[in-house]
């Protein structure tokens, strides 16, 4: 089993993605999670570029990493400047990381037309920077920026830039598809040629051996494929980010690369135990980035092992391998069966068992439930994305539903004049075990006011029961627009507490009524669960 080194650049390249930003403290916490997961190299940032990265490296000096080597990122020295006098090189050394990654220009187009430099001086910049950092006791990783574009235009010069890094003493040569425009066939052919030519150069001149890395971007949707095919040529370091975050279309996604390496390519990179934490790591980083997790993300997405069609579900009940390429538990995920108008008896029985229902009870009629689901879905409900509402539906159809409260009435008032913003207030009357309660509350809108009123009322019966519960997403969809403003709407509400996320649904011609259905289901579900 060949060793592959994992190099994470979420904290540097990942933060160049649109709408992604971490504080220095958040970066340190993410780095510790990456370390616990078993990442070998963690690129913390560019200490010479901004105060936040400088703060991170100061915090990191006090932290201990048990698996990873922390890395500072920067550029080669500037043209016609000594390495020891270059502010960027000085900042890299002052970060006190054991590893330094520097990038240099390998595309003659950039050297001549963008930097307006000479080819000779560019080679000297690479050699001098690597050499100086090596003399200061650092492990040096050289990122050959725009390498594949440079190789296609002028392979002779692109190879010369790598040789300069080898002569300087770099431990890794990382080939970068910076613009993300290369195809897998190109990556494969170029990596093979580079490894052959550089290995020959090293043997001929008796230099120390070197490792090879790959750094790809996803502008053509091929970052993961390009990374994996590079590994097949002998590359033994893969660079990427958690969830594929990065500028433009993102970087190679380590959450897809790692399980492919471990489970399908027989490459050693993380332990099987740590691999089971992959989904947790992905969710932690997305939460820190304030980014909604993508349900269709391979391996660790919510939908990665979700089954909807009745025939599929019937098959996986017997042989999961029939419709799953690997066991979801290997990457910390789980199998999900979705409920919809495509569902069959197998879907209902599997889902009911998953939710803790006794399928053998006298009240459980899966065919009747399937029939009701199909009818409700035809009217606009969508239970494959609303597990909490589905659970309540099963309880109601099997005479197991015990309401935590009953609605007697509600009224929502909205007021607007030309000099003020809209104001909303709601009055609600509920009953719990025959005891009624009326409350009034204001909100930023009618649904917010209704939410505040029901919370206020329920707190009288279940003190503190909803303190940790919050609405985290609210979606409204017009089901069929042919009736204009009288069309039916679907409301989906995502709620969460400290440990769970659940989704509820409501459908009506009235958006407030649909919102109430979803809100009521949410509170019925969590109060019953806590009880």
pLDDT in tens, 322-359: 778 899 899 998 877 665 555 556 666 666 676 666 65
According to CATH, the topology of domain 406-530 is Double Stranded RNA Binding Domain (3.30.160)
Q: If pLDDT is split at 50, 70 and 90, which confidence band does 361 have? A: low
pLDDT tens-digit map of 14-23: 999 998 999 9
Q: Which has the closest alpha carbon to 356: 391, 399, 393, 311?
A: 391
Q: Which has the closest alpha carbon to 238: 140, 141, 138?
A: 141
Least confident among 160-169, 264-273, 389-398: 389-398
The pLDDT of residue 394: 83
In sequence order, what are the residues at sequence separation of 6 or more whose Cβ sits closer than 8 angstroms to the Cβ of residue 286? Answer: 243, 292, 293
Give whichever of 128-132, 319-323, 463-467 has the largest mean pLDDT.
Answer: 128-132
How much of the chain, in percent, has pLDDT values that exceed 90?
A: 65
The pLDDT of residue 399: 82
How much of the chain, in percent, has pLDDT values that exceed 70?
A: 91
Helix (H/G/I), strand (E/B), else coil: 44:
strand
Strand partners, 101: 73, 141
Distance, CA of 450 to CA of 411 (rounded, Å): 9
Gyration radius of the chain over CA positions:
29
User: Hey, what long-range contacts does 391-398 have (CB within 8 A, 24 or more apart)?
Assistant: 391/355, 391/525, 392/521, 392/524, 392/525, 393/369, 394/352, 394/355, 394/357, 394/369, 397/365, 397/368, 397/369, 397/372, 398/357, 398/361, 398/363, 398/364
DSSP-assigned states of every residue in 422-434: -EEEEEEEEEETT
In sequence order, what are the residues at sequence separation of 6 or more whose Cβ sits closer than 8 angstroms to the Cβ of residue 90? Answer: 48, 84
pLDDT tens-digit map of 458-496: 999 999 888 888 888 888 888 775 666 567 888 999 888
The two structure tokens encoding residue 413: 């008032």
pLDDT tens-digit map of 54-96: 999 999 999 999 999 999 999 999 999 999 999 999 999 999 9
Q: Which has the closest alpha carbon to 476: 448, 443, 414, 518?
A: 518
Whole-angstrom CA distances from 404 to 151, 345, 429, 512, 520 are 68, 29, 14, 21, 10
The pLDDT of residue 287: 82
Q: Please give the mean pLDDT across all residues of the chain.
A: 89
Main-chain phi, psi angles of 529, to 5 degrees: -65, -45
Threshold 0.75, pTM exceeds = no
Q: If pLDDT is split at 50, 70 and 90, which confidence band does 186 have? A: very high
Helix (H/G/I), strand (E/B), else coil: 400:
coil
The CATH class given to the 2-270 domain equals alpha beta
Q: Is the pLDDT of residue 100 over 90?
A: yes
Contact yes or no for 428/454 (Cβ under 8 A): yes
For the chain, the domains span: 2-270, 406-530
Q: Is the pLDDT of residue 201 over 60?
A: yes
What is the DSSP pairing of strand 172-177 with strand 5-8?
Answer: unpaired
């Amino acid at each position: 089993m060949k060793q592959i080194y994992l190099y994470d650049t979420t904290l540097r390249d990942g933060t160049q993605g649109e709408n992604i930003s971490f504080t220095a403290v958040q970066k340190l916490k993410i780095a510790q999670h990456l370390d616990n997961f078993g990442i070998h190299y963690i690129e913390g940032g560019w200490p010479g570029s901004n105060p936040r990265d400088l703060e991170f490296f100061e915090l990191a000096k006090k932290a201990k990493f048990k698996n990873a080597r922390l890395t500072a990122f920067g550029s080669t020295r500037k043209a016609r400047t000594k390495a020891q006098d270059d502010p960027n090189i000085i900042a890299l050394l002052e970060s006190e990381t054991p590893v330094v990654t520097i990038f240099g220009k390998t595309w003659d187009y950039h050297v001549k037309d963008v930097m307006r430099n000479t080819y000779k001086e560019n080679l000297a910049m690479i050699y001098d920077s690597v050499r100086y950092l090596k003399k200061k006791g650092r492990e040096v990783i050289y990122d050959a920026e725009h390498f594949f574009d440079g190789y296609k235009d002028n392979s002779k010069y692109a190879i010369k830039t790598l040789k300069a890094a080898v002569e300087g003493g770099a431990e890794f040569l990382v080939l970068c598809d910076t613009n993300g425009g290369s195809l897998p066939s190109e990556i494969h052919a170029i990596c093979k040629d580079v490894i052959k030519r550089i290995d020959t150069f090293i043997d001929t001149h008796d230099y120390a051996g070197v490792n090879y890395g790959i750094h790809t971007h996803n502008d053509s949707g091929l970052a993961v494929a390009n990374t994996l095919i590079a590994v097949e040529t002998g590359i033994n370091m893969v660079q990427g980010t958690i969830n594929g975050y990065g500028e433009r279309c993102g970087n190679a996604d380590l959450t897809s690369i790692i399980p492919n390496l471990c489970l399908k390519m027989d490459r050693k990179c993380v332990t099987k135990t740590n691999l089971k934490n992959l989904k947790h790591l992905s969710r932690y980083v997305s939460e820190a980035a304030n980014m909604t997790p993508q349900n269709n993300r391979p391996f660790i997405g919510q939908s990665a092992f979700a089954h909807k069609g009745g025939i599929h579900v019937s098959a996986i009940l017997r042989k999961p391998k029939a419709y799953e390429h690997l066991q979801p538990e290997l990457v910390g995920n789980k199998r999900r069966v979705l409920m919809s108008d495509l569902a069959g008896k197998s879907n209902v029985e599997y889902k009911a068992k998953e939710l803790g229902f006794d399928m053998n009870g006298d009240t459980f009629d899966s065919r009747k439930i399937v029939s009701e689901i199909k009818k409700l879905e035809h009217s606009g409900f969508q239970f494959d994305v609303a597990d909490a509402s589905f659970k309540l539906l099963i309880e109601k159809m099997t005479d197991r539903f015990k309401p935590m409260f009953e609605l007697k009435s509600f009224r929502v008032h909205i007021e607007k004049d030309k000099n003020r913003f809209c104001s909303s207030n709601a009055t609600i009357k509920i009953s719990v075990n025959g005891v009624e309660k009326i409350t009034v509350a204001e909100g930023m809108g009618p649904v917010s006011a209704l939410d505040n009123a029901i919370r206020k009322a329920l707190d009288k019966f279940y003190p503190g029961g909803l303190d940790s519960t919050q609405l985290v997403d609210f979606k409204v969809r017009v089901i069929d627009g042919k009736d204009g403003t009288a069309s039916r709407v679907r409301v989906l509400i995502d709620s969460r507490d400290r440990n769970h996320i659940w989704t509820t649904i409501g459908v009506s011609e009235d958006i407030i009524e649909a919102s109430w259905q979803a809100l009521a289901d949410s509170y019925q579900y969590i109060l019953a669960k806590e009880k």
